[in-house]
Structures are given as structure tokens and as C-alpha cells.
Amino acid sequence: MRIHFIAIGGSVMHQLAIALKRKGYDVTGSDDEIFEPASTNLEKEGILPQQTGWYPEKITPDIHEVILGMHAKEDNPELVKARELGLKVFSFPEYIYRVSENKKRVAIG
């Protein structure tokens, strides 16, 4: 399964991307800025974008799901392209809910 992250550099987003990559998913992503420790963590996993910015050409019909980070705006060119192609787009919370819907969830504060 191929998953693309719009705003992959977020503190939680990059950790989800790494977890999915380790589970065997084909993970790609983009961001307009990626800071430490996200950049090093993504680089170690081989999923650090080669350059920062938004690239609608990365959004192709073979992507199964798009996970949208908080700082991506509605006019983000990758989001616009994903919607034009009719791809499934989830926010981080929506994605977590969907994959844990039938599991026992425990929250620790």
C-alpha cells in the first residue's frame, strides 16, 4: 500500500510515517520545512524528501491514502491534486481513528 504524507516533517507526522514504513508500506512525503529531529529520523528511514516544497506531480493515482498535516492549507497544490484524483485524504486524527477503530485504545496522560 502506498501512502503519501503532506507535511511529513511534523513531530507526530514523521513518527507515523516511520512506523508505517517499518510495517512495510511504501511511504512518500513532502513538506515546506523539516527541522530536527524529524529530518534525521526520516533520513535514517530513507523517506526524507530530497527537497522541501510542495510537488503536485508526486500525487499519482497509485497512491492509496494521503495523510494531511496540520499546517497544510486548503490550497496546498498536493492536496488539490489528491482531491482532483479522488484519493482518500485523512487528517492525522482521522487516520489514527480509522486504523484503531476495532482495537482497544488506551490513553496515558
Complete domains list, the chain, with CATH: 2-100 (3.40.50.720)
Residue 25 Cα distances to 1, 35, 74, 85, 106, angstroms: 5, 24, 26, 21, 25
**Residue 107's CB: how many other CB atoms inside 10 A?**
4
Confidence tier at 107 by pLDDT (50, 70, 90):
confident
User: What does the mean pLDDT of the chain come to?
Assistant: 95
What would the mean pLDDT of 72-94 be, rounded to a whole number? 96
Q: Is the peptide bond before 77 cis (omega within 30 degrees of 0)?
A: no
* Cell matching residue 41: 529520523
Q: Give me the pLDDT at residue 106, please.
A: 84
pLDDT tens profile 9-59: 999 999 999 999 999 999 999 999 999 999 999 999 999 999 999 999 999
**Residue 58's CB: how many other CB atoms inside 10 A?**
17
What's this model's pTM, rounded to 2 decimal places? 0.92
